Amino acid sequence: MQSLAMIENWPVTNAAAAVVRADGTVVGSYGPTTRRFPLASVTKPLAAYAALVAYEEGAVELDEPAGPEGATVRHLLAHTSGLAFDEHRVANAPGTRRLYSNAGFEVLGDHIAKATGIAFPDYLREAVFEPLGMAATSLPEDGSPARDGVSTVDDLARFAAELQAPRLLDARTVLEAMTVVHPGLSGVLPGYGFQKNNDWGLGLEIRDAKSPHWTGASSSPRTFGHFGQSGTFLWVDPDAGAACVALADRDFGPWAVAAWPPFTDAVLAELSA
């Protein structure tokens, strides 16, 4: 895909990208797709997927208590537990505001570890990475489930294919994950400011009508995924029937705000041509 060559114009030292269909076919790739990049918050969808595997295995229930009083596993996944952004303190009552929380995903990881009797990085590897053949992806032993994953474009393309055509989870579970939890809640989308309807599913950010946003102007409202402060993103656009992964070695900033949306629009235009 010629559109992927746009990453050559990004002000970064290294970047790689790929587009993958639901059947796992990589329809285009560019750059060092086997290079391992820090994922930052693109770790969260991987951690969320492991939590959903634990749910399907019966180790946890989505509506069982977890985190602050009144919060559940579902609240933690949907950033509505009330935990602060990067501190293990309660800032809001559960279910009242979309408060994006790294702390919430750390509590989630601890909860899954206690429920399964397996350290969360090990559970994530056994439940998600190994079955999908993501051999170059890891979460350090003492790493945060919110931000410390490391992976490659090739591995994340495998995960993007799984999100489109699930093999590890029941398709109904993935559909629930990409459906808005607690609709209508406002909150701040990191890097993009206040959003009146800051919609999220279970560990997945949902595009809907957010503006500004890191995906493209032509991205469908059903688009879901995540971006990371290390200059990384993964989106799935069900209407386009494809997903895109891009990893870079420069922290998110104005360069990404300017570069990512036109990149996504060019990818979508080429897919539909």
List pLDDT tens digits, range 160-179. Answer: 999 999 999 999 999 999 99
pLDDT band for 273, please (50, 70, 90 cuts). confident
Determine the pLDDT at residue 109. 98
Domain chopping of the chain, boundaries = 2-272
List pLDDT tens digits, range 240-251. Answer: 999 999 999 999
Of all residues in the chain, the percent with pLDDT exceeding 70 is: 100
Q: Fold for 2-272, please state it.
A: Beta-lactamase (3.40.710)
Tokens read off for 206? 């949902």
pLDDT band for 1, please (50, 70, 90 cuts). very high
Average pLDDT for 135-164: 98
> How far apart, in Å, are the Cα atoms of 271 and each of 152, 193, 214, 237?
23, 30, 19, 11
CB-based burial, 172-207: b 16+ in 10 Å, e otherwise = ebbebbbbbbbeebebebbeeeebeebbbbbbbbbb
pLDDT band for 32, please (50, 70, 90 cuts). very high
Residue 35: how many other CB atoms lie within 10 Å: 16
List pLDDT tens digits, range 100-143. Answer: 999 999 999 999 999 999 999 999 999 999 999 999 999 999 99
Q: What is the pTM of this model?
A: 0.97
| Whether residue 21 has pLDDT greater than 90 | yes
